[in-house]
Amino acid sequence: MSEPVIRPMHERDLDAADRVHRIAFGTRFGLSDPAAFRGDAQMVRTRWATDQEATCVVEIEGSIVGGACAMDWGSVFVLGPVFVDPKHAGQGVAHLLVEHMMAIADQRGAKLAGLFTFPESATHLRLYESAGFVAQTLTPVMSKQPDAAGHGPGLLFSKLGPGEQDAALLNLARLTDLNFPGLDLTREIRAVAQLGMGDTILIGEAQDPRALAICHYGPRGEGGSGTLFIKFAATRPGAAADFAQLLDCCEGLATATQAQRIIAGTNTARAEAYRILRERGFRAGLVGVAMHRPAGPDYNRPDVFVIDDWR
């Protein structure tokens, strides 16, 4: 058998890479039809469209057998998903992918590299530990049915004029920087707007936002049809009231888009955010563990009100 060859992911690779991703995780979760993993939700395509240079595939004898994506959030580089065709598991493909992606993280000068993986899987823990990652605290991925209770979706990024959008992006980067130096979701906000995957909610004004929530909805996004997926949300540190208002707006947007459920994940070290989500009726359906390189709490702190999904 030929040696695996790693290279950048191209648009022509998306169908094959998407299929390998679904089969890899669908098999991991024991689905009767692994290729149906996550329904019509898009993961590989959205990550590639958001940041093509942070994606790659592995080929063996001309066939794609694995791949990896990442999210560049300024000083934070989120690795994942990393996926390998089950037929080629245990052949070093995953190690090759992780090494390649971490070289990209280092080249970009990330202060923190992070990922979400299965806490019960010794295989996954060993893979990422070999690349310098250290297991931190649990991250439940939670969901609930929306209950708008008369709430509206708040100020939407899509409703701002071009000048207001530019101002909002600068000020939102300043807001996220308060939670972790250099944390910047500009790339994600722009991708959601340009690709028609959803919208971004702002609390406050474009010139002085107090909170944001990047939401995917519909079949083009990472949540899929019938779901409002909160990809990332944040307030200023300690701003519990703004976090509650932000959740109200997410409920309102879910109702406006006719979503049947809301998905949100937060690390349990963000104790107050986790408590408020539970009080609002969010319940865990999947639990992962955050791994960091280098080790440290970073923005997983009790005073931080952040929702994010590193899957």
Secondary structure, 3-state, 123-186: HHHHHHHCCCCEEEEEEEEEEECCCCCCCCCCEEHHHCCHHHHHHHHHHHHHHHHCCCCCECCH
Top-tier CATH class for 5-110: alpha beta
Q: What is the pTM of this model?
A: 0.96
Q: Between 3.40.50.1110, 3.30.930.10, 3.30.43.10, 3.40.630.30, what CATH number should domain 143-308 receive?
A: 3.40.630.30
pLDDT band of residue 154 (cuts 50, 70, 90) is confident
Query: Taking the alpha carbons of 60, 128, 36, 39 in that order, is the dihedral positive or negative?
Result: negative
Is residue 183 pLDDT above 90, yes or no? yes
Q: Tell me the pLDDT of the chain averaged across its residues.
A: 96
Rounded Cα–Cα distance for residues 243 and 17 (Å): 37
Closest CA to 75 of 46, 105, 55: 105
Q: Please check the confidence at residue 148 and state whether its pLDDT lies above 70.
A: no
Residue with tokens 């996926």: 83
Domains in the chain: boundaries: 5-110, 143-308
> Which residues are bridge partners to 155 per DSSP?
202
Phi, psi of 158 (to 5 degrees): -65, -20
DSSP for 250-268 reads HHHHHHHTT-SEEEEE--T
| Residue 144: φ, ψ to 5° | -160, 165
- Report the C-alpha gap between 71 and 189 in whole angstroms: 12
Task: Name the pLDDT band for 153 (thresholds 50, 70, 90).
Answer: confident
Give CA–CA dist 186/165, Å, rounded: 11
Confidence check: pLDDT of 150 > 80: no
